Amino acid sequence: MRRIYAMTIDFETLRNWHFPEMRHSFTRRDTILYALGVGLGTPSIDEAQLPFVYEEQLHALPTMATVIGYRGFWLKDPATGVDWKQVLHGEHAIRFHAPLPVEGEVISRQYVSALIDKGEGRGAVLSLTREIRTEDDMPLATIEHVSLLRGDGGFGQSFGTVRSLPPIPDRMADEVVTLQMSDRAALIYRLSGDYNPLHIDPEVARAAGFPRPIAHGLCTYGLVGHAVLRAGCAYRTELLHSLAGRFSAPVYPGETIQVELWRTDDTLAVRATALERKVVVFDRGLAQIGITAEEDGVMQMAQAI
């Protein structure tokens, strides 16, 4: 007999949703495909970007952690009780513990870390934490994915908390990086594993209140990560330690994204704007950057001398 689920959140079911441990295998081709999906290789003659799209000297973008161990659009499962067409990606944060391999197999573990009821008619907030480790249990990345359940709320219970991101400094940015999102960005990015039809099906997009399919929030996140890597780390992936931020408005493929950055010691505040619409699309961004432990040791030796 086919089971029929009412579209109502059951707090305990969603809070304790079981995700089996997952082994994720990926190849150099997957690493290159992810980089192309978030806009690397534009222009194709930029030698600084070549290591992320050329197999002979390949490096993995740190933000590729978003697609490693990804379990798909699990909130579409009727048993969650979530109105999946009203789900938006609200905030995203990754702490990078070590550079990602360009190929191989890793272990992914994830769990619901917060579920907050904002009240009847106001929706809910769900935070999902995913840990990525090597086969010998060395941590690579810890990801916090915060979703806005706009069509839900009023179930009367909450647990956990979601971190508060600081506002952007009230002064001119120290650096600005302008990147063009491809018209085909969503079509390419989805091949890294996120097949939510909101990003390709015009009918689904209209049902969710958008005039056309929008870019994946994590595609925007990867684009912002590219800007941070360029401006703050000179494309040295080991120097990016964390990146967090809020998706404040949807991005449409083909838009020009202006990323502003403010420096304070080893911290970068980050904001991104869709220039054609003059709309802030990524806000309260915060990146931690710094030197490597080896470089720190060299500096300390030099100071001692």
Provide the residue range defining the domain that includes 211. 11-165+185-239+287-304
- Which residue do the tokens 């710094």 mark? 290
Instruction: Report yes or no on 274 lying in a domain.
Output: no
Q: What does the pLDDT profile of the chain (305 residues) look like in tens digits?
A: 334 444 678 899 999 999 999 999 999 999 999 999 999 999 888 999 999 999 999 999 999 999 999 888 889 899 999 998 888 889 999 999 999 999 999 999 999 999 999 888 889 999 999 999 999 999 999 999 999 998 898 888 899 988 889 999 999 999 999 999 999 999 999 999 988 898 999 999 999 889 999 999 999 999 999 999 999 999 999 999 999 999 999 999 999 999 999 999 899 999 999 999 999 999 999 999 986 544 444 333 333 34
Position 262 in a domain: no
**Count of structural domains, the chain:** 1
What pLDDT is stored for residue 180 in this prediction? 95
Asked if residue 125 lies in contact with residue 158, where contact means CB atoms within 8 angstroms, the answer is no
- Answer whether residue 2 is part of any domain: no
pLDDT for 7 equals: 60
Instruction: Please give the pLDDT value at position 291.
Output: 67
Q: Would 41 be classed as within a structural domain?
A: yes
Question: pTM for the full model?
Answer: 0.88
- What's the CATH number where 233 sits? 3.10.129.10
Look at residues 291, 237, 212 and name the one whose alpha carbon lies nearest to residue 40. 237
Residue 32 lies in a domain: yes
User: Are 176 and 261 in contact, with CB atoms under 8 Å apart?
Assistant: yes
Query: With contact defined as beta carbons under 8 Å apart, do 193 and 72 qualify?
Result: yes
H or E stretch including 232?
helix 217-233
